[in-house]
Structure 1
Amino acid sequence: MKTPKLPPEVPFPPAPWQLAGECWIGLFQADQDVPCPAPWQHVFSPRLTVVALMRYIEGTLQYDELMVGPLVRHGTRMGLWVVHIWVDSAASLWGGRRIWSLPKELATFTWEEGRVRVLDARGGPIAMLGVERRTGFGPALPMPVPGIGGASGQWTTFVGRMRGRLARGGLSVEGWSDRFPFQLGGTALVSVHADRMSLTVPPPESWAEEGASPSATASP
């Protein structure tokens, strides 16, 4: 895929970010292995990938977000390696790139009854996702949300703190762009919907492999 054209840089809030809204998270099987950079290794099958759809309607910023990537590990570190991530906010894009070294791109999210259509900044299709709003049961549960960003031997790791009422199911992939090297489709192997969700994303820990210099700044 071509390197995306990014919008002009804009100011963004410092970490931590306090966000609230709802989310859908599912585990899908791709038609081929999902990329995982050395020295990270897949926790599960290389074809298993997480799809997370977030709607942040309160807090530090308000925006929609779609992220895709496998669960990976290296030594004692483990988290979601973010292969692709799209947002509809320039402040979120630049904050994600500069603070957490996440490869955020701009997209538009069109919400319809039971689904959401995601198009990139050039108007090209990314995904059509089926979503069901299922009411969670019981009290809001705390959940760690570990993430990994960076490249070229220089990494950022962070653990978000989420709380939400969980309901089983609710996410499917009804369409996926053939521009990507792996394809996703169908109902998730397992998925959850969290309503009344809150998430705190702290500043990252930056570290480097032997022979590389630590860096706390994301590449543009």
Structure 2
Amino acid sequence: MKTHKLPPEVPFPPAPWNLSGEGWIGLFQADQDVPCPAPWKHVLSPRLVIVALMRYREGTLSYDELMVGPLVRHGTRMGLWVAHIWVDSATSLWGGRRIWSLPKEMATFTWEEGRVRVKDARGAPIATLGVERRTGFGPSLPMPVPGIGGAPGQWTSFVGRLRGRLAPGGLNVEGWSERFPFQLGDAALVSVHASSMTLTVPPPQSWSEDGAAPPSPSP
């Protein structure tokens, strides 16, 4: 997938980032195998992909975010391979690229009743997602959110700490761009809505397959 021109680099806060707001996370079935970089291997089926939509309203930064990627493993490490990620904040973009080696790009998020439309910096559609705000029951629950970024020779891994009131359902795909090498079914196999959510994203661990010190991440 082609990377569009990035905005000028801006300063960003150091990790950890402490964010709060709400989010939707869904597991979807793709129509073909989802790309996974070596040496990572898919967890469960190679046609399963995670879509995570976040609205961070308070904390270190305030921004919207869409992440897409498969769940992968390598040795004892496992997490979401952040293959595609869009944000509407240049500060978040450069922090994500420089700290966690995540391939963040700019996008606009247009929120309507029951859906959000995500478009890239040129105004081309990325996805239209149906969203429901569901009230969770019971106490606010903690949940680890492991992530994988980087590239061969300079991998990064981190485990975010999410806490929120979780409710089942709330996320579906209404439109999906042909830019992706796979298409998704409309309904999630399983999804959750996290309200009153807090998320702490710690500094990453950087490593390479041969144990050598990784080179500095590129933009």
Smaller-chain TM-score bracket: over 0.9
Instruction: Give yes or no for the alignment of 1:203 onto 2:203.
Output: yes
The answer for the alignment partner of 1:11 in structure 2 is: 11
1:104 — aligned with what? Answer: 104
- The aligned residue for residue 54 of structure 2 is 54
2:179 & 2:15 partners in 1: Cα distance? 33
Q: Which runs of 5+ in 2 are unaligned?
A: none
Q: Deviations over 1:130-179 (max 9, x none)?
A: 00000011110010000000002320000000100000000000000112
* Cα distance in structure 2, aligned partners of 1:187 and 1:181: 19
* TM-score after normalising by structure 1: 0.97
Alpha carbons 2:109, 2:118 under 8 Å: kept = yes
**2:135 aligned with 1:135, yes or no?**
yes
Aligned counterpart, 2:173: 173
Calculate percent identity across the aligned residue pairs.
84
CA contact (8 A) 1:174 1:185 kept: no
CA distance, structure 2, for counterparts of residue 156 and residue 80 of structure 1: 12
Look up the match of 2:149. 149
**CA deviation after TM superposition for structure 1 residue 211, in Å:** 7.4
Three-state SS of the structure 2 residue aligned to 1:142 is strand
User: 3-state DSSP class of the match of 2:210?
Assistant: coil
Aligned to 1:44: 44
SS of corresponding position for 1:92: helix
Cα distance in 2, alignment partners of residues 40 and 141 from structure 1: 29
The structural deviation recorded for 1:2 is 2.3
1:4-58, Cα deviation, whole Å (9 max, x unpaired): 2111000000000000000000000111111111111000111100000000000
Residue 115 of structure 1 corresponds to 115
Q: Match of 1:27? A: 27
Does the CA contact (< 8 Å) of 2:66 and 2:85 recur in 1? yes
TM-score, structure 2 normalization:
0.98
Deviation at 1:212, TM superposition (A): 5.3
Contact 1:87–1:104 (CA<8 Å) still a contact in 2? yes
* Aligned equivalents of 1:174, 1:162: Cα separation in 2: 27
1:125 aligns with 2:120: no
- Given residue 101 of structure 2, which amino acid in structure 1 is its aligned partner? S
2:188 and 2:88 mapped to 1: Cα distance? 24
Post-superposition Cα deviations, 1:73-113, rounded to whole Å, max 9, x if no partner, equal 00100000011000000000000000000000000000000
